[in-house]
Amino acid sequence: MKNILLFALTVLTTSVGFSQHGLDKDIKNIESKVIEWRRDFHQNPELSNREFKTAEKIAKHLKSLGMEVQTGIAHTGVVGILKGNKPGKVLALRADIDGLPVTERTPVPFKSIVKSTFRDTEVGVMHACGHDTHIAILMGVAEILSKNKDKINGTVKFIFQPAEEGAPPGEQGGAKLMVEEGVLKNPDVDAIFGLHIGAGQPVGTITYKSGGIMAAVNSFEINVSGKQSHGSTPWASVDPIMASVKIIDGLQTLVSREMPLTQEAVVLSIGKITSGVRSNIIPEKAQIIGTLRTLDVDMQTQIHKRMKEMVPAIAKAYRAEATIDIDPGYPITYNDPALTAQMVPSLEAAAGKENVHIIKAITGAEDFSFFQKEVPGLYFFLGGKPKVTPEGVTISAHHTPDFYIDESGLLLGVETFVQLTFDYLGK
């Protein structure tokens, strides 16, 4: 059907060279568990900072593996610590665990029908970005490595992070809060690896980029104040809706006319505008909410400055008043060049050299960047798109009701994390 991916719920068994570590059997046996875990999390998603049941399931699994387990980090975060039988470095592996306020439309038997409240509005909840796959993959890695800790030089920290999609208004959360609460300490982490599933990237492939791979992100909120009147006498009003329209229009010119786009990309998008209650009342207030994505720190600073200048000035031109609040957001997701170069052979060993590709930076954002500000990190993308997509079928994007992941790609995620772990700690 149109706008929905091919829902082939078949399992693809892949094989990589883990014979040297004696892990072939463990790798082969973990796939069905990973898929089962993924479907459970998919059917029972929870919003950011509300991942209580998700955290309980993760902690229970890690404890069953005999790990030291820490809970309640950054509200609902879980950390498992696996100490190898030999001394060495400390490596962290991270998975994000929160869902999104999206009502699912995918016709799968494990479809989410969960409802919750987001910004005072009842919403459906869905793992519309693939975090359910990230959790299941890392749980699988934890099981394999715990069975083979006699082969591990050093320590592995399994970080299951809440609120990657952003904490609710008025709350703190996510990677930034985990770092502030010491998740990279005791024992001190030497490096961290993370992955993200990609609905538009073919199963069996891995993509990466040295240096900046994902944009910095800032959310912003604009509040416009005017004067209310009857809709039949607009001259008696100060119309906040008209002022808001002009503000939105003006903000787009900051990108198209003031940013050197041949240097790096900038994206400014409005996600919500709220005002009024009925057709014949010009309201007193309006609110605009949006997102800004930048890949250059100087360009980010400049556009912040111009947004703060432009918004009140445009409102004033229409006799209204406006304030703008830009949140600190996430920094650029930056892959340490030396670590990336060191670990590319591991990516190629897991997926095959022909299936590992360098990409350009993208304007999506990730709070994995807060970990990378503290320790060297490598973040890469894992394919989740069916290898064969029928003609006329559209690949649905992340954060949409039709988002779909081919589960046959999950095992490669497990294999890659395991390969990276043994190679990094071995060296």
- The domain ranges of the chain are 19-214+332-426, 216-326
Query: Could you tell me the CA-to-CA distances from 192 to 125, 183, 268, 339, 349 in Å, in that order?
Result: 29, 12, 30, 10, 19
pLDDT for 4 equals 40
Q: Of the candidates 114, 93, 99, which has an alpha carbon nearest to the alpha carbon of residue 368? A: 93
Q: Output DSSP code: residue 108.
A: -
Q: In 3-state terms, what secondary structure has residue 275?
A: strand
Task: Tell me if the domain spanning 216-326 has CATH number 3.30.390.10.
Answer: no
Exactly one of 208, 330, 379, 404 is catalytic; which is it? 330
Domain 19-214+332-426 sits in CATH at 3.40.630.10
Q: Which residues contact 64 (CB under 8 A, 6 or more apart)?
A: none
pLDDT for 2 equals 41
pLDDT for 354 equals 98
β-bridge pairing 153-161 and 77-83:
antiparallel
Q: The tokens of 398 are what?
A: 């992340």
Q: What is the pLDDT of residues 77-131, one digit of tens each?
A: 999 999 999 999 999 999 999 999 999 999 999 999 999 999 899 999 999 999 9
Q: Is 101 left (phi over 0), alpha (psi -120 to 50) or beta?
A: beta
With b for 16 or more beta-carbon neighbours within 10 A and e for fewer, the 51-77 pattern comes to beebbebbbebbeebebebbeebbbbb
Are residues 44 and 113 in contact, defined by beta-carbon separation less than 8 angstroms? no
Half-sphere exposure of 207 (CA within 13 A, CB side): 18
CA distance 89 to 386: 37
CA distance 194 to 161: 11
Q: Of the candidates 356, 361, 359, which has an alpha carbon nearest to the alpha carbon of residue 344? A: 356
- Per run of 10 residues, the mean pLDDT along the chain (length 427 residues) is 39 42 83 98 98 98 98 98 96 98 96 95 97 98 96 97 94 97 98 98 97 96 98 98 98 97 95 97 98 95 98 98 96 97 98 97 95 98 88 84 96 98 92
SS3 content of the chain, % helix, strand, coil (to 5): 35, 30, 35
Exactly one of 31, 143, 165, 407 is catalytic; which is it? 407
Angle at 420 between CA 414 and CA 425, to 5 degrees: 130
Give catalytic status of residue 407 as yes or no.
Answer: yes
Q: The tokens of 314 are what?
A: 């445009």
Give catalytic status of residue 330 as yes or no.
Answer: yes
CA distance 63 to 249: 54
